[in-house]
Amino acid sequence: MSANTLAVWAAHRRAGLLDQTLDQRQYVFAYDQAAESSVAQVSLTMPVRLESWLSRDLHPIFQMNLPEGALLEAIRRAIAKLTGEDDLNILRVTGGNQIGRNRFSLPEDAAPGIVETAESLEELLSYPDTEELFHDLVGKYALRSGVSGVQPKVMLDATERGTAAVGGYIVKSWGADFPQLAANEFFCMTAAKRSGLPVPEFHLSENGGLFVMKRFDLTDSDGSSLGFEDMCALQALGTDQKYGSTYERVARSIKDFVSGEFLRTAREQFFSSLVLSCMIRNGDAHLKNFGVLYERPGQPVRLAPVYDMVTTVAYIPRDVPALSLAGTKKWWPRKNLEKFAVTHLALSVGKVGQIFEQVAEGVNDTRGMLTEYLEEHPEFREVGSRMLAVWNEGVAETFSG
């Protein structure tokens, strides 16, 4: 039996019903009559109203966490014979554990919750055979992982190192097409951290097989869910359009959605991450890799921390940036980036220069750590050496160009 109708929940309150019309030509979301705008609103772009919200494709906010790549294939294999593999059925099975405030269930269910077991973070990071471990984790957690992204990943709870506290984590692996991707992301995220950018807690397993990142959409105090919306959702675009926008539009979305008290910080963070992507040659800074966080609609909105940083040119030598800037997709020199920062982000020339210095220093600081790691891990030497060469070129061309 396929799921034609789902209940949508926002922060433990039922918000409304999501349907697909019988002719399958559009999706309909209708808020419950008793829905309160302060808690039930499912997106910053979809206020509570009596009129239904119609969309030819699944609404972007509900599309946002649909699994992709290896995780999607694992879910499809598990559910295809039993329920079908359309978007609503995938939301149905992954709907109890999503990034952000929204959850999904069958209309008759009293709540969307799932029973979650906790792994040990210490064991995840020290397990000798991470390929076997990740295969087991996919088997256990694929149907509980409402998270997007092509890279193989699952969401799970784990006890934190040296404590009895349980936190939510995203565990990523890699396939043959992108060897050593976990270590690649670890060093790119380390460069982001050393550049002064806000990042979630993250770890690399001892053998380099897994990248583990703490979820930033959960509060540290009690683990409750924060609202999260990526730039695809905010720009009313489906996931398949994540490369079809511009960094100018991202800047405009930041202005439109981030609260005034956080706007300057958000603009500086966004520009710093763009400079970093140019220096480390991260060609995957698309719309889904920027987002906002908030407690609930009506409360202050801030830019989410930096995530999903990878040196893509280590695998795709001729890779280019994910979105266009000034009508082009290329590794822009400093003068182009400076003009963008002043014109579209209202940053001063002095602040722009400070950001270039800080990011270059962060990348250079991380190069020593990367060099030491590749010398100790022969299996990483090929990818690591490419990363070092790419970073050298990226910093030189971006900083002085």
Task: Say whether pLDDT at 81 is over 60.
Answer: no
- Domains, the chain: 227-400 (1.10.1070.20)
Does residue 186 register a pLDDT over 50? yes
**Tell me: the pLDDT tens digits for 214-247?**
999 998 777 789 999 999 999 999 999 999 999 9
Q: What is residue 161's predicted lDDT score, i.e. its pLDDT?
A: 72
3-state secondary structure the chain: CCCCEEEEEECCEEEEEEEECCCCCCEEEEECCCCCHHHHCCECCECCCCCCEEECCCCHHHHCCCCCHHHHHHHHHHHHHHHCCCHHHHHHHHCCCECCCEEEECCCCCCCCCCCCEEEHHHHHHCCCHHHHHHHHHHHHHHHCECCCCCCEEEEEEECCCCCCEEEEEEECCCCCCCCHHHHHHHHHHHHHHCCCCCCCEEECCCCCCEEEECCCECCCCCCECEEEEHHHHCCCCHHHCCCCEHHHHHHHHHHHCCHHHHHHHHHHHHHHHHHHHHHCCCCCCHHHCEEEECCCCCCEEECCCCCCCCHHHCCCCCCCCCEECCECCCCCHHHHHHHHHHHHCCCHHHHHHHHHHHHHHHHHHHHHHHHHHHHCHHHHHHHHHHHHHHHHHHHHHHHC
Who has greater pLDDT, 270 or 38? 270
CA 316 to CA 84: how far, in whole Å? 35
Q: Tokens for 206?
A: 């001892």
Closest among 202, 209, 294, 286 to 249, alpha carbons compared: 286
The pLDDT-based confidence of 91 (bands split at 50, 70, 90) is confident
Q: What's the rounded Cα separation, in Å, for the pair 167 and 121?
A: 9
146 vs 124, residue with greater confidence: 124
The CA distance from 17 to 315, in Å, is 43
Q: Does pLDDT of 116 surpass 80? A: no
CA distance 30 to 16: 5
Confidence tier at 12 by pLDDT (50, 70, 90): confident
Burial environment of residue 351 by CB neighbours within 10 A (0 to 12, 13 to 18, 19 or more): middle
**Confidence band of 374 (pLDDT split at 50, 70, 90):** very high
Residue-level pLDDT at 164: 66
What are 97-110's pLDDT values in tens digits?
A: 889 999 999 899 88
Predicted TM-score (pTM) of this structure: 0.93
Q: Region 171-194: what's the mean pLDDT?
A: 94
Higher pLDDT, 257 or 74: 257
pLDDT of residue 201: 95
